[in-house]
Structure 1
Amino acid sequence: MITKLRIQNFKALRDVEIDLTPIHVLIGPNDSGKTSILDALAALCRSVDHNLSPAFLGSWKDRELVWAGEPCASVVIEANLDHEVIAGYTISVGFAQGRRLAAPNRKIVRTRDKDYDSLVEAVQENEEFWPVDCPDVFLRVPDDISSLLRGLLGGVHLYRWEPRFLALPVAPDTKRSFRMESNGFGLALCLDEILSYSREQFVKLEKRFTDVFPHIHSIVLQQESSYRPPVDAPEQVTMLEKADGKGLYFRLHSGHQLIPASQASDGTLLVLAYLTVLYLPKPPRVLLVEEPENGIHPKRLRDVLTILRELISEQSHTQVLLTTHSPYVVDLFEPEEVTLCTKLDNGEVKTTRLSESPTVRKQIDVFTLGEIWTAEEDETIANTTEPVEGSPE
């Protein structure tokens, strides 16, 4: 599990540090750095099983990801890990001018016994510069340590689910296995792969889903004309082409009629997507979700958060990080599980754990976290300085 995340010079994240829990939520106004934190953590995790340029997702070029576009600044992303062997992992990245290219300045793998530092090794061996985008060449660590690191951080899932993509029929692809695109495309194929891998696992998923939606009798996957996009496209632009595949349907208790996923509610598809992640044969080590409340009724939202908590309980190696604008989501977390992001006058992002806020500590015995957040200004909550006794607050 990642216990601490530090990000420097990435977008508006000039220098932020966050203590993470097994399930953690980021709150704050728009443009306060929440999404940037998810993107930075995704890049750190992807760097263990991708080259550096595709590790940074989305559409970017030049030094657009660097704080204020500073020409000499490197993006540094560092994680402390709660593991018996691996203590932490750091990447320092430079971005080339005029291209979509990220070049490694430094990588450090910290174990309980020693640090493996690519910069130190390069200097000691009198090398000029390690090859760009060849992470396993310049990071000289034993195979067993590399394997452990990939097991701890590799295969990160980042989701900004859109129901219209969740509903699309999907063509099989040998390069895609047990995962959806960040927008949710691939749900039908994931379900079909779970069914093929373990019918018992699929039945458990279906039972849990129909418990949430008792009017639905079963999940049906039917052969039909489908779509296939590029796999793991780093710019996250979904270009679909036609192919044969499987479509997702729901059979109702009221009859034999099949309802296509395209006609199901957003909430139905979103809950099914979370359950699908929960029942993957190999759930992700790190699951990043942006605004899980979108398209979901507050009652269903509680179901979704219950599913996510059960994910980290049943799959104890999985860690979840969410962003939200919903006080209903915040109500379901403890103060130490919530970090508030605010932007300072100079454009930098500040992070405050709610358990460190005097405003929250004074009110938590009377009000819920969501009520406190709704009633108080973000700047008031972010002020961690206790007032001097006898002075006005």
Structure 2
Amino acid sequence: MLTTLAVENYRSLRRVVMPLRRLNVVTGANGTGKSSLYRALRLLADASRNGAIAALAREGGLPSTLWAGPEQVRKDRPVQGTVRTGPVALRMGFASDDYGYAMDFGLPRPTDSAFHLDPEIKRESLWAGPFLRPASLLMERVNGRVRIRGDDGKWQDGGHVLQTFDSMLSEFADPQRAPELLALRERIRAWRFYDHLRTDADAPARRAQIGTRTPILDPDGADLAAALQTIREISPKGVLEEAIELAFPGSHVEIVNAAGRFELAFRQHGLLRPLSSAELSDGTLRYLLWVAALLTPRPPELLVLNEPETSLHPDLLPALANLVVTASKGAQVIVVTHSRPFVASLEALADDLHTLELLKAQGATALAHQHPLEEPPWKWPTR
């Protein structure tokens, strides 16, 4: 379970060091940095597949994603430009009880390459335990060189030089000397993100699909019918029916198998025939997608949900909150939302809900009610 998330100089996140627990809800007004926090987590996940540079490029490159304010912010002075004293750095990392990891993006060196706008990975560090200390470092990358701490405590050369756009998470594999890096990579790759599940007229979830056992709902929801049937067959008996009944009393879901193609049939009280997924309202279909995503028989270590309440009627929020709380029993959950009623529904069901409210202070995102001395211990690796 992640205990700390740290981001520096990413959009409005000039410096955020956030404590995390089992069930976390990130809330705040529009423009306070909730989406930036969600994207930062996705960037960390992309690094495990060597996709962080491409993800930054899709956002406009490093110049567009860097903190746009001054290097130093003084509450007793108006915001003004100053001469930069440190290197340009976009940094993000996390810590858990057993491992911590951080990566540092910087500006590229002058070059004639056509890819001269690509940022470079300047530093990566992997350490044991929740706090970075010189003695806890297991592996680090400085520019392109990688070194590994051996069993005798001495540093060993990694053996090859990484390209400036390659993460050691994705490109360095040495199960003999660096098993911790491989373990961490697989854990990050198992993180699961759901962001604005499609319910438009052309959404994949509205079409019949070939059905196979589906313990994990695809991000586009195309395998919704197969995912619901998988929950019905291999999850504890009645969990699917309970989730439907809680939201739509007297209703139930059937999965029609037509020569191997699965289609959803939704029966409601008072109707003489079931409704197909193509006939369902956006809100009803979206709720069924969340049922498939959150009741997964194969929960991840980390499940991140971005505004799951979108398109749902307020009457469905308690049922959605129940799904989230149920999911948190098998996975660490981070929910990003601006809906106060949804937060209230979560608070009513979860005794251990960890609410993190974001606000803007002089253009920078900050955690409400967090004094600087109350931040979790965090230290960035130096270049």
Q: Does 1:111 align with 2:128?
A: yes
Deviation at 1:34, TM superposition (A): 0.6
Distance 2:255 2:324 in 1: 24
SS at match of 1:30: coil
What residue is the counterpart of 1:235 in the other structure? none
- 8 Å Cα contact 2:241-2:252 kept in structure 1: no
Question: What's the counterpart of residue 160 of structure 1?
Answer: 196
1:266 maps to 2:302: no
**How far did 1:109 drift?**
1.4
1:74 corresponds to which residue? Answer: 89
Amino acid at match of 1:46: D
Return the offset for 1:74: 2.2
* 1:296 aligns with one of 312, 331, 335: 312
Counterpart residue number, 2:354: 337
What residue is the counterpart of 1:130 in the other structure?
162
Distance change in 2, residues 1:130/1:172 (3 Å): farther
Higher relative contact order (CA 8 A, sep 6+): 2
Paired with 2:59 and 2:158, the residues of 1 have a C-alpha distance of 36
TM superposition shift of 1:222: 5.4
Aligned to 1:376: none
Please report how far the alpha carbon of residue 270 of structure 1 lies from its aligned counterpart in structure 2 after TM superposition.
2.7
**Larger helix percent:** 1
Q: Check the 8 A contact 2:215/2:297 in 1, yes or no.
A: no
- Partner SS for 2:308: coil
- Structure 2 counterpart of 1:312, from 328, 332, 343: 328
Equivalent-residue separation in structure 1 for 2:50 and 2:96 (angstroms): 20
Q: Secondary structure at the match of 1:68?
A: coil
Seen in structure 2, the aligned counterparts of structure 1 residues 118 and 11 have a Cα distance that, compared at 3 Å, is: same
Contact 1:94 1:102 in 2 (8 A): yes
Q: 1:31 corresponds to which letter in structure 2?
A: G
1:195-274 to 2 correspondences below 5 Å: 195=229, 199-201=233-235, 204-212=238-246, 213-221=248-256, 246-254=262-270, 257-274=273-290
Q: Which is further off, 6-15 or 42-51?
A: 42-51
Aligned to 1:282: 298
Give the TM-score taking structure 2 as reference length.
Answer: 0.71
Q: Are 1:87 and 2:99 matched, yes or no?
A: yes
Q: Show CA shifts across 1:242-281 (max 9, x none).
A: xx96443313354552312233233322322222123323
Supply the distance in 1 between the matched residues of 2:55 and 2:215 (Cα, whole angstroms).
19
Q: Spell out, residue by residue over 1:19-63, the C-alpha distance to the aligned partner (whole angstroms, 9 max, x if none).
A: 112111122221111110011012113322444334559543353
**Counterpart in the other structure of 1:377:** none
Gaps of 5+ in 2: 72-83, 109-113, 130-135, 148-155, 375-383
The count of residues paired between Structure 1 and Structure 2 equals 326
Q: Give the RMSD, CA atoms, in angstroms.
A: 3.8
Q: Cα distance 1:146–1:208, how it changes in 2: closer, same or farther (>3 A)?
A: farther
Matches for 1:342-381 after TM superposition, within 5 Å? 342-345=359-362, 347-353=363-369
Aligned to 2:43: 43
> 3-state SS of the aligned residue for 2:63?
coil
Aligned to 1:60: 60
Q: Please state how far the C-alpha of 1:348 moved relative to its aligned partner.
A: 1.6
5+ long unaligned stretches in structure 1: 225-243, 358-381, 385-393
Q: Is the partner of 1:219 in helix, strand or coil?
A: strand
Cα pair distance change 1:111/1:248, threshold 3 Å: same
Aligned to 1:277, the other structure's residue is in SS state: helix
